[in-house]
Amino acid sequence: MKNKITTTKNLVMTYKLKTPFDSYMKSLLIKDYPVCLDDNNKYIYSNVYNKICLARKLDNMIKYNISDSDTDLLYKMYPNIEYQVYDNKFKGISEELVNKYLKNKVHLSYSSMNNYYLCGFRYYIANLLKLDIYEENFQAKYIEIRSSLDIVNSRNSKYTYSDMRDCFYAVLKYLKQNEKVIFIGLPCQLAALKCHVNRILSNSKKLFLVELMCHGIASHQYLLDHMRQIEKRTRKQAKTISFRDPAYGTEKHIISCRDERKKLIYHSSEKQGDEYQIGYHNGVIYRENCYSCRYTGMHRNGDLLLADWYRDRSAPEIKFQDHSVNSIFVCSDSGEAFLEHLVKNGYIQVFERPLSEALKIQRTLHKPTERSPLRDQFLSIYKETKDFDKSIRRACRGLIRKKKINHYLKVSYIKCIAVKLFNLGE
């Protein structure tokens, strides 16, 4: 092969060392063949490469006043090079392309028209390109109570994970200043905070802990997926969420969503088939460690324990209205003293009930929430589809059907009437 190549007349062999976008090493075979290098003809092989070289040389000449003979040579070859002719000014949008992208559908509403009134570009980004600059992630977090408004915003149940990373530093700061701190949270979070404080401070008597009865906590991603489905179905952006909307009565467990003007865009319940409520209240979507929680039982980490109150009809008669009522469990001497202070000063009204009533109703006073037999099926479907609502509907199809039948046939209402008429036990 080498002999044929070297004895062939008028054979020209070329190789490249550089392109407009890359560079190369010389071949090791070059030394075995006679190669003639002609630097004078380096601009004859590629028009694209030549124009790029000319543009670079024009940059050097305009910016740094550096010129060479090749600049004139290339400029004579390409006098009409598109150099510094690009105009980045906005020239409008093709109506044809917009209609094609939107499929000739633009949904107008008060909020979208208000976007246009405030800023035309904001309307274009949010309502046409669907690239909203603000996206609510519905992440709950602990806050420091500074005003009565903070108390209002902290009310209602939170059936989702709450971020408490900022709490550790804030609590320690106040305790080091010898100030009293009341922390209200879930049993596992109280245990973490208590352990952290005791590890750093020798005396933590100024820290008062209030537990909230917990059945389990779901991944925040499930809630976010559910909210996105609600927004997709309603074609509206949710700003706030309430897991037990007071407008319908907190005892009814109505989940609701409102937009930035506090207008209701969605409301439902477990009985009506809301996917998140179905998954949460039936132990399908809790975190795996919740099913083996070590903080259930009668031994508590807090000074007081707060929970919903449910009447046991075999217990003594009640002397108060049986709705919007909470249970308070005293777990320490500090908790008992604090409760007495609240009662004495008229902040709350207390009626003593037998402990057996709570033990019969509140199962997490005995053991963790049982892992639902539907959980594995839900996880399998969710892993495949990445669609929370669809996964719940498929995994809990029979449960949802049962809940809806009971709701629309008013089974609980009929049962309540029967109990009152015939004095039946539950």
Q: Give the pLDDT confidence score for residue 312 in this predicted structure.
A: 76
Over residues 287-309, the pLDDT tens digits come to: 999 999 999 888 888 999 998 88
Centre a 10 Å sphere on the Cβ of residue 406 and count the other Cβ atoms it contains.
15
Over range 189-214, report the average pLDDT. Answer: 90
When comparing pLDDT for 156 and 223, which is higher?
A: 223
The one-letter code for the residue type at 139 is Q
Q: How confident is the model at residue 133 (pLDDT cuts 50, 70, 90)?
A: very low
**pLDDT higher than threshold 50 for residue 310:** yes
Q: Of 12-26, 77-91, 191-205, 273-287, where does mean pLDDT reach its minimum?
A: 12-26
Distance, in Å, from the CA atom of 355 to the CA atom of 224, rounded to the nearest integer, reads 38
Distance, in Å, from the CA atom of 393 to the CA atom of 370, rounded to the nearest integer, reads 21
Among residues 171, 222, 235, the alpha carbon closest in space to that of 200 is found at 171
Q: How confident is the model at residue 326 (pLDDT cuts 50, 70, 90)?
A: confident
Please give the order of strands across the beta sheet that includes 326-330.
181-185, 207-212, 304-308, 326-330
Provide the Cα torsion 287, 251, 191, 331; round to 10°.
-150
Q: What is the 3-state secondary structure (H, E, C) of the chain?
A: CHHHHHHCCCCCCCCCCECCCCECCCCHHHHHCCCCCCHHHCCCCCHHHHHHHHHHHHHHHHHHCCCCHHHHHHHHHCCCCCCCCCCCCCCCCCHHHHHHHHCCCCCCCHHHHHHHHHCHHHHHHHHHCCCCCCCCCCCEECCCCCCHHHHHHHCCCCCCCEECHHHHHHHHHHHHCCCCEEEEECHHHHHHHHHHHHHHCCCCCCEEEEEECCCCCECHHHHHHHHHHHHHHHCCCCCEEECCCHHHCHHHCCEEEECCCCCEEEEECCCCCCHHHHHHHCCCCECHHHHHCCCCCCCCCCCEEEEECCCCCCCCCCCCCCCCCEEEEECCHHHHHHHHHHHHCCCCCCCCCCHHHHHHHCHHHCCCCCCCCCHHHHHHHHHHHCCHHHHHHHHCHHHHHHHHHHHHCCHHHHHHHHHHHHCCCC
Q: How confident is the model at residue 98 (pLDDT cuts 50, 70, 90)?
A: low
**pLDDT higher than threshold 60 for residue 413:** no
Over residues 220-238, the pLDDT tens digits come to: 899 999 999 999 999 998 9
Structure tokens given for 93 = 């949008």
**pLDDT higher than threshold 80 for residue 128:** no
Q: How confident is the model at residue 240 (pLDDT cuts 50, 70, 90)?
A: confident
* β pairing state of 255-258 and 240-242: antiparallel
Q: Give the pLDDT confidence score for residue 149 in this predicted structure.
A: 74
Among residues 191, 143, 188, 141, the alpha carbon closest in space to that of 163 is found at 141
Distance, in Å, from the CA atom of 98 to the CA atom of 5, rounded to the nearest integer, reads 60
